[in-house]
A and B are shown apart, each in its own frame.
Chain A
């Protein structure tokens, strides 16, 4: 489907460093956690960008930066041309209408003391100009219907619903302001596999219906592949490889992507025997003190002298059709490889 619509989200050199301080009265900064360290990507209307990476690679911090819940250390997030990072007050509020979020845990992301109607209707109360007061209840009921919930349940409380239904409530809240972009921060990882499929299908249906663009953050590679048009792979605060889903999954060029893909469970026991497994050594280094040069070099089997000295930029490499941040990038199909 990825016919390129207009550019609606432009992220440039986004950096978020959390200061590490020491001392009780006088706080001295002794270092910083480089949670997100120079991330750039574009998002077009109606497109889904999947973001994958292991725990602690900065996915959720990136989501918070996109939602202006954290202020970036540097860099910019442009939503339909307006910079979210520097906007304040009424400007920021207006930009927020265009970018909304679906959170990870449906059990904690809904206020237990508010009815479903109040939760889904809250966006209208905050942005009173979107819907006149009299229409709000009707609008909330429409939204509930759109996400497949019974509109008569408007007066129920979140605990009266199951996890999948709660996530639908969260999605309805995200849709209320008719945003063009929805940031989904692991929207299905807290749900049962059967419910995951329902919610993913709902997200896809809503995308077609409303022309939404998604930033889909997850660590489940098969889910990401299913829903994404393009995929970005993150490692230690940086994007190491970005490209169309087929490029990433069939011709991964960065060693980290290859290792990640080789860890995807294969349902077929026969194929499981014969396929290639790349087992990485050690743990990811601390984001407070990342390795020099290439951040992946401490765990990479291809690492050479140059990897420690020179940081590989995210650019199109010879023999690889999409940007990859590796000096020795080489397309290699891991998923379908045999023998």
Chain B
């Protein structure tokens, strides 16, 4: 390093630590996350659930979809060595059904989150960046969807769309239709804040076009709040899927869903609590895992919201 040039100053770090590398927002956030017990716990749990959802046969010796494994004679039997979580009304093994039920929850959570984030994020970027009538139009449309009470709206959509093709697709559609306006609002607000910053003005002065300004300058600086909402939405959607399935408009038998299992077991709860309690427990743990993940990501990316 020559003497005539000026070397970079020692980095500033939000939380001063010894020997830490200089950091940007993302590496700062990543540092915070790696040292957050909540995040590590939530991430481990979420990872485990994703693996369970992807390869349920690794965790359950019985195939829950194979009806021949059910034995009506064992209906509502208690827990034992081969049927860890007991059996349900039809004598099917609750443990294998709980394991196989993870897939629906995880798929609905991830796909609905992706759809809402992409649609809401993209439209929010347009609304915030172009402003004027684009913003008026998109924001008003979003507000119309926002005004629909979520459970009622989902029931309605599923009653219409889901009548002929019930299943994961309809549930994802119902949740996405109702949830994208939230992402749009958050993205729009973040874009408007970023748009007025000096470095965007500097890019315009250089002659940068709108696409370059949006992708290179605004998006990377406006993404943090959307990532926070996205992570939080995962848990919310999983809970919502269970709720809709419980109400009988979501996933339908013979597909397996925790909400559906809870609904099936509720009438005989006092007699046989296990077929209701175990899916409920797994549902709670799953939602908790993603909510913890969302909380940790929010703390790391957006300390102001804490």
Q: Given contacts A69-B201, A96-B205, A159-B24, is CB(A111)–CB(B221) below 8 Å?
A: yes
Stretch in contact with the other chain, from B1-9, B47-55, B267-275: B1-9
Say yes or no: A149 contacts B205, CB within 8 Å: no
**Contact residues, A40-95 vs B (CB, 8 A):** 67-69, 92-93
A-B CB pair tally, cutoff 8 Å = 97
Quick check: is B12 within 8 A (CB to CB) of the other chain?
yes
In chain B, what residue has the closest Cβ to A116?
A: B8
Say yes or no: B221 contacts A100, CB within 8 Å: no
Complex: A110 Cα to B71 Cα, angstroms: 69
Q: Given contacts A112-B221, A126-B208, A160-B22, is CB(A150)–CB(B6) below 8 Å?
A: yes
Name the interface size band of chain B. 20 to 34
Say yes or no: A69 contacts B9, CB within 8 Å: no
Say yes or no: A160 contacts B208, CB within 8 Å: no
Name the interface size band of chain A. 35 or more
B274-299 near A? 1/0 per residue, CB < 8 Å: 00000000000000000000000000
Quick check: is B17 within 8 A (CB to CB) of the other chain?
no
Q: Given contacts A111-B221, A127-B207, is CB(A149)–CB(B202) below 8 Å?
A: no
Quick check: is A123 within 8 A (CB to CB) of the other chain?
yes
Residue among A105, A148, A157 with most chain B CB within 10 A: A157
Quick check: is A114 within 8 A (CB to CB) of the other chain?
yes
Contacts of A114 in B (CB 8 A): 216
Which of A67, A92, A122, A148 lies in contact with B5, CB distance below 8 A? A148
Quick check: is A165 within 8 A (CB to CB) of the other chain?
yes
A119-144 near B? 1/0 per residue, CB < 8 Å: 00011011100000000000000000
In chain B, what residue has the closest Cβ to A97?
A: B207
Say yes or no: B198 contacts A100, CB within 8 Å: no
Say yes or no: A108 contacts B198, CB within 8 Å: yes
Quick check: is A153 within 8 A (CB to CB) of the other chain?
yes
Say yes or no: A103 contacts B198, CB within 8 Å: yes
Complex: A67 Cα to B203 Cα, angstroms: 11
In chain B, what residue has the closest Cβ to A123?
A: B206
**Footprint of B on A, CB under 8 Å?**
67-69, 92-93, 96-97, 100-101, 103-105, 108-114, 122-123, 125-127, 145, 148-153, 156-157, 159-162, 164-165, 168, 170, 173, 177
Top-6 shortest CB links A-B: A150-B5, A113-B220, A109-B198, A108-B198, A111-B199, A96-B207
